[in-house]
Structure formats: structure tokens, C-alpha cells
Structure 1
């Protein structure tokens, strides 16, 4: 366990440069005292590592020192090759780069790990887009990606859902996100999220910008998703579900079922489920047929009862 941690500490310093003991402890999920012991062990083993005291201090390797030691385990090698998404990489113009990188990593692996990596690549394929929909053309994706890499402002003509639909925007692209087969760019000021396939025109600029200090793309995206769901599901429905109906729930409804569900004597489950609106809930609950009974709100119960009556009338012989 300690050997693996020492390798991780060494690679952190190699890739990030100077780091404080507190930063290393946070990354490695150990105490600062453990970091002190580990750095002493590396120095005693001949690793050219030194530390400076003071507010601007920290540990770092002697300039120019590099290690070829990767410390890759079998599972890590498999995960590395599993993480490569050829489709998105090609869309970003990085297909040849990804292929070349994987070849180099594969060549550097010991024969046993190379076999594991080849097995993963031959048995698993990741396909990001969803079913039942053709991929939308994204003609400006490479230009947006280039602006992200280089930190350059973009001037775009963008189509949104509300009037006026076509608007001009100045974007400072902080990063790209691929969600369910669709590309989004998170851009300042704001930041705000834009669908890349809704960019109608794009004009690059030579103007540079700086990403705000402390901004983390993954954390921002998670917060944005949480906020979206909080704004999306602003109503609730009290329902009874058969065991089969409960199994068919997905997403926020399934999570709400796990949190609020209570089994009744007949085996059905009473729960409070989030809904976007009465109309949306009406459509969604109809898909469950007789596996769900809505108890409240009364307007939704009446709407479903009316639909059920009309359906029954259609099939009366």
C-alpha cells in the first residue's frame, strides 16, 4: 500500500510541480505527517526531491528529473484503455492523437498488462449517444474546442428556445462537456451553458481571456445539473405503485421512491414523486398503465381518470 502511495506522490510532483504538504495530503487522502515521512523515504532512496519552508514553500523535484515509473496496475491499465472514446475524440479532431497516445502507452506496458489492455479494447465499446435519435450535426465543434485549448474569445450567432431566437453572443469558452451524445460549451461571462449544435455562425478572435481562479469544470457541471433538476421538478404527486411499476421508475422518480417509499399491506408502495407539471406527469404516468394509482393532486387524478374512461370507451364492443 505504501509503495503505491510513494509512486503516486512522485508522479504528482512530476506532473504538477511544486506542491505543499497539505496539498499532497489532500490528494493522497493521508495526514500531513504521513507526507513528511513519505518525502523523507523518497529522498533517502535517492529521488532528487527537496522542500522549501514558508508560505510559498512546498516540495518539488529537481528541474529536469523525470521518472519512467508509472506504477500502473492491471486494473489501471484496463481502465485507461476503456476510457478512450474514439467517437468524441474524432469529433474534436483528436482521433489520430488518441490512437497515437494509446499505441505509445501500449508499447510501454509490460506484456501482462498489454494483454489485459488488449482484452478490454476487444470486449468493451463505449457509445455515448442515446437511442432513437440521429446525432445532430455540430459543424463548429472543432473551432470551439480550439478556442477552449487556446483560451480565445468567440463571437457567435446562437439559436435559443425563446424569442428572439437568434442572438449574438460573446463567449469565453471555459470547457466542453459531452452529455448523452450532445456537446455543450460552458462559457463566460456567467458562466452559462450553450449547446454547440445551436451555434449558427462563429467568428474566432485573437482576444485572450482567463478562466476565473478556482473554476472547476466538473464541479460546475454537477452544480448546474443539480440546479436544473431542482428547477425542473417543482411539483409532487402522491402515488401508489405496484412492485412492477416501481421497478420501471428511473432517474429522479426512482431516487424519490427509494427515499419516500413505504410498502403497504397489499404489496403496493406509497411514495411522493417529483413531477415537472400536471401535463408532463399525466403523460409519464400513463406509460405505467394500471401499475400506478395517483392519490394527489386531485387535478392529476381526475385527468388520468378521464383519460382512462375515454380509453375504455374506445375498446367497448
Structure 2
């Protein structure tokens, strides 16, 4: 909305002192022409904004009054800024709204708290886009219009019609009763029921969404944390689970524990390798996990898994082996 954008523009100028039109456009996610129109509107409304010419010019505000929150101490302000740095809002399509809210919080702080809190927040990094091995952990892309409809249905308590694409299947339309939204490792999920049965949908697989007028069939109160834990447990204990007897190097045990559903120790072999009974979600999960460990682990049983890993290794040798 334009009113919110005008407020954000004023707050940006208050915090930065002077900004060029392109810089304002990037912050507000609009065009430079829109920024110039907004500047004209602010001037016409009596806001003391003026332009500075030259290479380092831009737009700035004359010194003016600001609303302060004297009851907000440094640690409270820091907590808000750190919370605002988390990317969960991106998964729910609230990134721009969160940035605007954080600008308002910073602007409302007393002068002595504003500088110290903002400086301290810059020294804390929450959920970076890559880990120490340079693996990207960026959030999945979800169209703002789609996730906005999902949010609206969750908050309004109305039924939701979604066009959902499951793995290896054509997208289909389905009507669900939304319960809540969850973000885990930068992936957003919709918790819902469908015909009374629990369902969990990944937001990135919702291609389109439409809020219906009919009220959703759901409890008035919900404990999302408990609900998520229950569904996670159900997911881990369901499906065609596979039990594998594995010999693994001791230093790679933690990796195996981290990727498997469960690990039961069996003992230690004469060469120092651990012998473990490992439970995986299904055949594909077992093949993937053991393949990642390479020669640091050996699947002893079942035989089909040994055959599969051998055939995969043979295919690699054929691909990269010498030509005769």
C-alpha cells in the first residue's frame, strides 16, 4: 500500500540521513520513477524532504521530531533486531513487511539505544545462506501472491483450495482446512486437514491458492509446536522402513546418526569399525545415505542394498575408467 511505502521512505531517510533515488527504490522494491512520485507527494503534504545535487547527492530530511519508546531498553531492542534478521518471514512471504517493521522499530528507539542496538545486531548472524562447507541453505522460492492467499486462509479460518504438485505426479486441485504455517531450515509448510485426515504441504509446491468463503473445520486453539512434533514422528515411523546392518568408521558414526531414523549399536569389530543396526525411511533413503559415506561404511545386509551400491560403483568406474 502506498501509505505504508511513504512511511517507510521517511524512516529510511531518518535512519540513513541521505539516500539516492535508486537506493530508495532498491530498499522499497519499487521503480525509481515511483520513488520520485512519492517524494513529490511527501513534499506536497508538508514533509520537510529536500534534494541535494551532485555526485554524492540524494534526498534527505530536515531535522525533525520523532516518536520514541523510552521503555525499550538496549537488550529488548537487540532481541527485536535479531528476530528480524531470521529468514522465516521469507518463507511466509513477509520479507518486505518485516523489513518495514524493523525500520519502524529502529526509528522509534531513543537516540542512545538506536546506535548501540543496531551496531550490536550487525555482529550477530542468524541462519546464513551457506554453512561451513559452502552448501547453500537458501529458502525456497514461493510466489508472494500464492503465499499471501495461504496466510489469509490460515488467519481467517476459511477453507483453502490449492493447486498442489506432489513428486512425480501431475498437479491437482484439492480443498483443505488450514491449521497453521511452519518453517524448518528455510522451507515453509502448511499444516492442514483434508476430509478430516492430517496433511502437510510444502509451500513451494503450491502452484496457486484460493481462499473460500466456507469456514474451515478446525479447533479454535492449536499448539503448533506439538502438532509439528506429532506429524514429524508420524512421518519418521511411517512408510516402508528399511533395517540395514552396517560397518562404519567411528569418525563417521555421527553422520550416520544424523541421517538415519534410528541407530542401534551392535558392537565393535576387530579392525575398530563399529557394527550398527540402522533404520532408514525407505530403500532410496538407505541407498543415498550409504553412498554418501563411500568406503567409510559397508552395508552387510540386506543383499539387495549391497548389490545396488556395487552396481552404482561399477557404473562410475565404467564412466571414468581407462579406455581399452
Q: 2:181 aligns with which of 176, 179, 196?
A: 176
Distance 2:233 2:241 in 1: 13
Distance 1:283 1:97 in 2: 38
1:215 is paired with a residue of what secondary structure?
Answer: coil
Provide closer, same or farther for how the CA distance between residues 279 and 220 of structure 1 changes in structure 2, counting only shifts above 3 A: closer
More off after superposition, 124-133 vs 83-92: 124-133
TM-score (norm 1): 0.61
Q: 1:241 aligns with which of 248, 254, 279?
A: 248
Alpha-carbon distance, 1:120 to partner: 2.6
Residue matched to 1:156: 162
Provide closer, same or farther for how the CA distance between residues 176 and 149 of structure 1 changes in structure 2, counting only shifts above 3 A: same
Residue matched to 1:194: 201
Residues 1:89 and 2:89 are matched in the alignment: yes
Q: Do the aligned residues in 1 keep the contact of 2:139 with 2:186 (CA within 8 Å)?
A: no
2:256 is paired with a residue of what secondary structure?
Answer: coil
Q: For residues 143-292 of structure 1, what are the structure 2 equivalents within 5 Å?
A: 143-161=149-167, 165-189=170-194, 190-209=197-216, 211-232=218-239, 234-249=241-256, 251-253=258-260, 256-257=262-263, 260=265, 262-292=267-297
Alpha-carbon distance, 1:224 to partner: 0.9
Alpha-carbon distance, 1:176 to partner: 1.4
Alpha-carbon distance, 1:209 to partner: 3.6
RMSD: 3.9
Residue matched to 2:146: 140
Q: Do the aligned residues in 2 keep the contact of 1:153 with 1:173 (CA within 8 Å)?
A: yes
Instruction: For structure 1, list consecutive stretches of 5 or more residues without a partner in the other structure.
Output: 1-67
Residue matched to 1:13: none
Q: Do the aligned residues in 2 keep the contact of 1:240 with 1:295 (CA within 8 Å)?
A: yes
Residue matched to 2:309: 304
Q: Do the aligned residues in 2 keep the contact of 1:81 with 1:102 (CA within 8 Å)?
A: no
Provide closer, same or farther for how the CA distance between residues 96 and 167 of structure 1 changes in structure 2, counting only shifts above 3 A: closer
1:169 is paired with a residue of what secondary structure?
Answer: strand
Residues 1:121 and 2:135 are matched in the alignment: no
Q: Do the aligned residues in 2 keep the contact of 1:86 with 1:98 (CA within 8 Å)?
A: no
